[in-house]
Structure 1
Amino acid sequence: MPTNIHHWIDNTEFPGSGGEFAPITNPATGAITGRVALADVDDARAVIAAAAAAFPAWRDTSLAKRTTILFRFRELLNERKGELAEIITSEHGKVVPDALGEVSRGQEVVEFACGIPHLLKGGFTENASTNVDAFSIRQPVGPVGIISPFNFPAMVPMWFFPIAIAAGNTVVLKPSEKDPSASLWLARLWKDAGLPDGVFNVLQGDKTAVDELLENPSIKAISFVGSTPIAQYVYATGTAAGKRVQSLGGAKNHAIVLPDADLDLAADAMVNAGFGSAGERCMAISALVAVGGVADELVHKIAERTRTLTTGDGTAGADMGPLVTKEHRDRVSAYVDAGEAAGATIVVDGREVRPAGDAGGFWLGPTLIDNATTDMSIYTDEIFGPVLVVVRVDSYDEALELINANPYGNGTAIFTNDGGAARRFQNEVEVGMVGINVPIPVPMAYYSFGGWKNSLFGDTHAHGTEGVDFFTRAKAVTSRWLDPSHGGLNLGFPRNT
């Protein structure tokens, strides 16, 4: 009998009353391993109400107590991250080392949030006017909703909820229905860390749950990561309801390789960035722009490396796992068909993969396509699979123009040994996250994550100081006390309580 995955309210599982479920599959076998509850409106409102009820007490909990819980959560996550990685692999399909890497990158934001007392400090001006002091404070916005995608069921929520909780907000997390178990594991870890009831809640479901988060007046802010069409919908709907919204959309990430680059380094980087996590990353390099006469040798080196990769069960030592669902696998494979029909050269064909795994798995091997043009769907669309497309250009200027003309502006990279060219690129490229000889330039937690153009809707990026700003509101106070007095005796050493 498949396991039922429910909602989470007040530090306990909540079956809800909706009665509808969606299947959860193991992508490496195709077998149904569980069922996830799909919330109806009443279920969604019950979860949101729990977050709203818990907010006043959590908002007024001291920073010292909040950070004590946050540090405890960090230690528990360190001790047990292997459990979480195995859950991610079982429902998403990515190999276990990749899942562990996902957890570690999320852990960086937890550690950043442990420093929240410093991050929430305001300013103070004594005697701004005669006997008048002026100062600023930052306060939590209230209950917040986090809507996360399937490709990073632990890391993406951890971009948001550690900072939101540390700042004094309560949280409703709506995970993807494709891999929802990580969210309940994280909820139980928060309970073990001592987080009070109602501060961290999980709402399982589909569009019904999303729409209630976007429209319910108790939710004051929304953080979303997903495809651009849905990101646009989330931003428009949430802001129309008067909410703060940071909505991170899709990507078409380019890497330029200049003729002076170390081609072995570049080839390694392209394989890692193109095929890691089966290409199901918003920061994956999916378009390689080969400049000048470098293309033939570079494509050869990438092809050699690609053919050594094994595709198989993520728990059994394969280099790359399956795609998340059969439908998504078929969609990605159809893009390869379309590229071939349009005249591109299929150098390594993942449709012919012989996987090291069950025949029922959702397999598509690493695919390398050369001689693509900018009017082909394999170039224009975000494929979100293990497909690396090579576009050949004659010059740096042509490569730059190609990237800047793209409607997406999430991540990009340049491979070169010319410092001047790298510095020029970082200045001229119209993309939010830039790598120099680094193929996946995901910022450290103390910087902020997010792209430009159709890769971000809203003014605030994820985590870092922008994340703190998003989950707090600034308040300016002007104060005059004509006769301040303090009474009582206490000889004990002062301490935080």
Structure 2
Amino acid sequence: MEMFLDGTFTPARDGRVMPVTDPTTGESFDTVPLAGPADADIAIRSAARAFETWKRTPVTERARIQKTCAAALRAAAPEVGALLSRELGRPLPGCLHEISRSAELLDIYAEEGLRLQATLSLGSATGEKTIVTRDPVGVVVAITPFNYPINLLMFKLGAALVAGCTVVAKPSEDTPLSTLKIAQIFHAAGLPAGVFNVVTGDRALGEALVAHPTPRKIAFTGSVAAGKAIAAAAAGTVKRLTLELGGQSPAIVCADADLDKAATAIARHGFANSGQFCYRVNRVYVERPVYADFLARLTAKVAAMTVAPAGGAGELGPLVNAKIFANSDQQIADARAKGGRILTGGARLTGPGFDGGYYLPPTLIADATPDMAVMREETFGPVIGLAAVDSPAEALAQANDSRFGLAAFVFTRDLARGLMLCEGLEAGSVWLNDIQRSSHFVPFGGMKESGLGREKGRYGVESYLEYKTMYLSYEVPE
């Protein structure tokens, strides 16, 4: 498949390509262009031309087109879902669910765009008026990861489009095909040429996009290290930033918690998408009186999870590539060397249907200590560390002893204690007594090194707008 620029599929200027691999077998099944700086410039120029018209398109029309795109995405779900499943390795039901949530977010952003307003100050003198309005930022570069490539793109694209911005998207090298297909679908649904462009390539392409002087904003989801590099490069032209970076999210299980409910929620959330997402449960602190009981309940639920071999059925798929697998594998080895107990999982799956991919079963590590990597660094894989604590206060202190601050989770029947812990946790989102998917209506983002800015709801749309104050003077009839 080729890049999608200015409404048409386009090869790289120099003709280079890179493979797209099926993670379940390790086999290449397609190629996409390996674009460079010249291709980045072409895409950005296309977006800049389209911006001159798109920013003047009434927001009611932008919202109408966006809702049409959402409907087209739903209609194409079987085709897009199959493509996403092939390039990501996730079982098809999870891919279809991602498409459904993505279309829902597009609709919500469109509705939030219709609620945007300017204000007129009442404090002006006679013959003067002061209007505060908002203009679209301009051309936006959206750089997205492999794990939820459609949904995390819509975090950015849906907000940018309804705000009046145009977008150049660079998907992950692992999952470019679904993004390219969506660009084609949206163009056919009525999105004008150049408003949404997709370029494919490696890190060098991302660097060229960030360094280009024309874009006014970079929206990025990915690692802390990459986010810091983007922020440093963007400072040269004072680009606006939305950075949703890594997470190392803690859960606190108090002695009075509903242990079965807590175990169910942590197992479901911690191992969804084979642990390949940023705000999953990574580490758990359990009060000592219920530690053994909770470990037994959680182990039983996790051990019952199924991993789908190539061509087979199951709840979880493989990790997307060798690098992602190696991170989990190294954290398991580190925990073993430091005295951690492997309760379930812990070793790569092999045999028919597994040998071609990086399959790791859901893994629980008990008696984890603060010096273990699984308790300090993002895993991005199906591994959870667990530790006993003597009090909720100790759990809170250990939970906050981290450079990350994306999400956190608390389980207790005592509402006052739960609210105290939620308020004390240094995280952008906190869940009490259950773990639902993050809502599309409220802000999502992190504290500390987990990022800058917020996405979703009106908060996401507003991050693609600049305030403008207009001072008006006029003659007052006598």
TM-score (ref. length: structure 2)? 0.96
1:391 to 383, 387, 393: 387
Determine if the alignment matches structure 1 residue 446 to structure 2 residue 459: no
Deviations 1:123-179 (A, max 9, x none): 124683213222221111111100001111101010011110111111000100111
Matches for 1:383-422 after TM superposition, within 5 Å: 383-422=379-418
Choose the corresponding residue for 2:190, options 194, 200, 203. 194
C-alpha distance in structure 1 between counterparts of 2:348 and 2:408, whole Å: 30
Paired residues for 1:20-99 under 5 Å:
20-99=16-95
- Asked if the contact 2:124/2:130 (under 8 Å) is kept, the reply is yes
Secondary structure (helix, strand or coil) at the match of 2:9 reads strand
Question: Equivalent residue of 2:101, what SS?
Answer: helix
Is the partner of 2:408 in helix, strand or coil?
strand
Cα distance in 1 for residues equivalent to 2:276 and 2:422: 25
Q: Check 1:339–1:440 CA distance in 2 against 1; reply closer, same or farther (3 A cut).
A: farther
Instruction: Give the letter for the 2:466 counterpart.
Output: R
Give 1:472's aligned residue: 465
* Change in 2 beyond 3 A, CA 1:102/1:466: same
* Match in the other structure for 2:302: 306
In the superposition, relative to structure 1, how do residues 125 and 8 fare at CA in structure 2: closer, same or farther (>3 Å)? same
Distance 1:363 1:220 in 2: 40
* Alpha-carbon distance in structure 2 between the residues aligned to 1:352 and 1:474: 52
SS of equivalent to 1:151: coil
How far off its partner does 1:441 sit?
5.7
Secondary structure of the 1:289 match is strand
Per-residue CA deviations over 1:448-495 (Å, capped at 9, x if unaligned) read 110100101x3x2112233222211111122234389xxxxxxxxxxx
Secondary structure in 2 aligned to 1:409? coil
Paired residues for 1:195-214 under 5 Å: 195-214=191-210
The one-letter code sitting in structure 2 at the alignment partner of 1:305 is: K
Give 2:323's aligned residue: 327
Would the aligned equivalents of 1:140 and 1:169 in 2 still touch at CA under 8 Å?
Answer: yes
Query: What's the counterpart of residue 178 of structure 2?
Result: 182
CA distance in 1 between partners of 2:383 and 2:270 (Å): 7
Equivalent of residue 456 in structure 2, options 438, 447, 463: 463
Tell me: CA distance 1:313–1:85, structure 2 relative to 1, closer, same or farther (3 Å).
Answer: farther
Pair 1:234-2:230 in alignment = yes
Letter in 2 for 1:469: E
Aligned to 1:133: 129
Would the aligned equivalents of 2:262 and 2:434 in 1 still touch at CA under 8 Å? Answer: no
SS at match of 1:399: helix
Matches within 5 A, 1:246-257: 246-257=242-253
Query: Which residue number in structure 2 is paired with residue 489 of structure 1?
Result: none
Give the aligned residue type for 1:134. T
Identity value in percent: 31
Offset of 1:342 from its aligned partner? 1.5
Secondary structure of 1:423's aligned partner: helix
**Structure 1 partner of 2:165:** 169
Does 1:378 pair with 2:365? Answer: no
Contact 1:53 1:198 in 2 (8 A): yes
Give the conservation status (yes or no) of the 8 Å contact 1:103–1:155: yes
Query: What amino acid is the match of 1:464?
Result: G
Structure 2, unpaired ranges of 5+: none
User: Larger deviation: 145-154 or 304-313?
Assistant: 304-313
Per-residue CA distance 1:228-273 (angstroms, 9 max, x = gap): 1111111111122221111121110111111111111111111111
Aligned residues, how many?
A: 477
* Contact 2:112 2:457 survives alignment (8 Å): no
For residues 394 and 250 of structure 1, do their structure 2 counterparts lie closer, same or farther at Cα, with a shift above 3 Å needed?
A: same
